[in-house]
Chain A
Amino acid sequence: MKFKGHHIISMTSFSRDMIDSILETAERMEPIALGKQRSDLLTGKILAVLFFEPSTRTRMSFETAMYRLGGNVLNLGSVDASSIAKGETLADTIRVVDGYADAIVLRHPKEGAAQLAAEFSTIPILNAGDGAGHHPTQTLLDLYTIKRESHLEGLKIALAGDLKYGRTVHSLCYALSLYGAEITLISPMELRMPEEIISDLEKRGAKVTESDTIEDAINEVDVIYMTRIQKERFPDPAEYEKVANRLKITPELLTDARPELRIMHPLPRVNEIDNGVDETAHACYFKQAFYGVPVRMALLALVLGAIEI
């Protein structure tokens, strides 16, 4: 399998074999990600970080990943201070930065931006989110978390919250369908997963059921993946409160849960996971955030050709 020079634009281009190789590589990166082992795998390499939209986690974990492997990071800085504010096109920015770095990680508010960047770049583009489009490294770190904290084979997972607009959830479900997962979708009526996506998932081998309460799922699944419900989706604030309260995980809900049950969340959370859950063995959202580092290390090492698998 060759990753050298490849762009990472969307999950749709990944086969199960490719995903497995990335996750295996990430596992080898973990001691380095934890700072227990030093690496000079990417010494002399420069990653350009172009974020046209704010992000903390994704940007920081890419930067950490690069530093942990001995590489360097070049940051675009704030957008208003750069020439983008003067109206430079993304295509021009990419062609310029192409000459300054060995790979580019890009977050941009418009769908298709990473694809466009790839057309103008001679170095690998890593998509860190393009509007409502793709965010493949989030999906890979979600898969990695499931692999490390639970299991991908024969997985039963419940996804709860905004399943209509949540791109993370759609992309994760597509990837999980490659593993034949049993998926339970838990959302208010207004935020149900689009019908086309559900039927697509079924065609690809996932088993999908829908439900509107978390209670029933808790004893059925290996993983509960919570997402945030945005207030803006509800014209009526009272309606939002009602829905948000119904899709909430509390320590009480978990009293009879099996010890193996894992709870994930892409973060930031608002109040869909009670702070009391953090202390339980079920919580793994902070670990999930950490797992972004070894996964991004693996991707960087692979696309820069420092590792071959």
Chain B
Amino acid sequence: MNEEQELRVKRIENGTVIDHINAGQALNVLKILGIPDSSQGVVSVLLNSPGKFGIKDVVKIENRELNVREVDKIALIAPNATINIIRNFNVSQKKKVHIPTFVEGVVRCVNPNCISNSNEPVTSKFDVSVEGNLILRCTYCGRSISEDIAKNLL
């Protein structure tokens, strides 16, 4: 990937670059982060950008750093993503996302008859495991989701 291509968008002074997002998942990353409503600064999105390991998506967010909860959610749909914190135009910190063992309030259970999909005062809860691919298991009804994680984001 050469810098020139990627930096057609203006460099950001301070903020976060989420790199190595599985191609096609950038819009879901925005959804997880509540963008545009939650961010004041400029957000740029690269889709299908050629990277070291095939094509990828990249999301660059000005003037925002992500909290652990947000990063954990991103890991579910982009397990190879890196979170680069940009300070003063440079990458000041780089972290790979790590897949959490438990997530709450991120994904909707696919079982329509699950109690977590009724008007009860609870959020969805899933145990996360990796068996080749990522599997979320509802702690209420036990139903698993694997392929459809992105589609069922809350």
Interface residues on A, range: 10 to 19
- Hey, what's the 0/1 contact readout for A101-123 against B, CB within 8 Å counting as 1? 00000001111110110010000
User: Does B121 belong to the interface (CB within 8 Å)?
Assistant: yes
Q: Complex Cα distance A116/B124, Å?
A: 11
Q: Closest approach, in angstroms, between the C-beta of A108 and any C-beta of chain B?
A: 8
Contact A90 B113 (CB under 8 A): no
- Hey, what's the 0/1 contact readout for A26-38 against B, CB within 8 Å counting as 1? 0000000000000
Q: Complex Cα distance A110/B119, Å?
A: 12
Chain B positions within 8 Å of A110 at CB level: 113-115, 118
User: Does A132 belong to the interface (CB within 8 Å)?
Assistant: yes
User: Does B122 belong to the interface (CB within 8 Å)?
Assistant: yes
Q: Complex Cα distance A166/B141, Å?
A: 16
Which among B111, B115, B143 is the interface contact of A116 at CB below 8 angstroms?
B115
Contact A91 B120 (CB under 8 A): yes
The interface centre, meaning the residue of A10, A108, A110, A132 with most chain B CB atoms within 10 A of its CB, is A110
The interface centre, meaning the residue of B138, B140, B143 with most chain A CB atoms within 10 A of its CB, is B140
User: Does A89 belong to the interface (CB within 8 Å)?
Assistant: yes
Chain B positions within 8 Å of A112 at CB level: 114-116, 138-142
- Hey, what's the 0/1 contact readout for A64-98 against B, CB within 8 Å counting as 1? 00000000000000000000000001110000000
- Hey, what's the 0/1 contact readout for A140-179 against B, CB within 8 Å counting as 1? 0000000000000000000000000000000000000000
Q: Complex Cα distance A108/B143, Å?
A: 17
Closest B residue, CB atoms, query A119 = B122
Contact B122 A133 (CB under 8 A): no
Contact B120 A133 (CB under 8 A): no
User: Does A131 belong to the interface (CB within 8 Å)?
Assistant: yes
**Chain B contact residues, majority secondary structure:** loop
Contact A111 B114 (CB under 8 A): yes
Q: Complex Cα distance A136/B114, Å?
A: 18
Contact A89 B140 (CB under 8 A): no
Closest B residue, CB atoms, query A116 = B115
Contact B113 A116 (CB under 8 A): no
Q: Complex Cα distance A113/B122, Å?
A: 11
Q: Closest approach, in angstroms, between the C-beta of A113 and any C-beta of chain B?
A: 5
Chain B positions within 8 Å of A132 at CB level: 113
> A111 and B120 in contact (CB under 8 A), knowing A131-B113, A132-B113?
no
Q: Complex Cα distance A152/B54, Å?
A: 56
The interface centre, meaning the residue of B122, B141, B142 with most chain A CB atoms within 10 A of its CB, is B141
Chain B positions within 8 Å of A115 at CB level: 115, 139-140
Contact A133 B141 (CB under 8 A): yes
> A116 and B119 in contact (CB under 8 A), knowing A110-B113, A111-B114, A131-B113?
no
Contact A91 B121 (CB under 8 A): yes
Closest B residue, CB atoms, query A109 = B113
Q: Complex Cα distance A108/B120, Å?
A: 13
Given A116-B120, A131-B141, 14 more contacts at CB 8 Å?
A10-B142, A89-B119, A110-B114, A111-B113, A111-B114, A111-B115, A111-B141, A111-B142, A111-B143, A112-B116, A115-B115, A115-B139, A115-B140, A130-B115
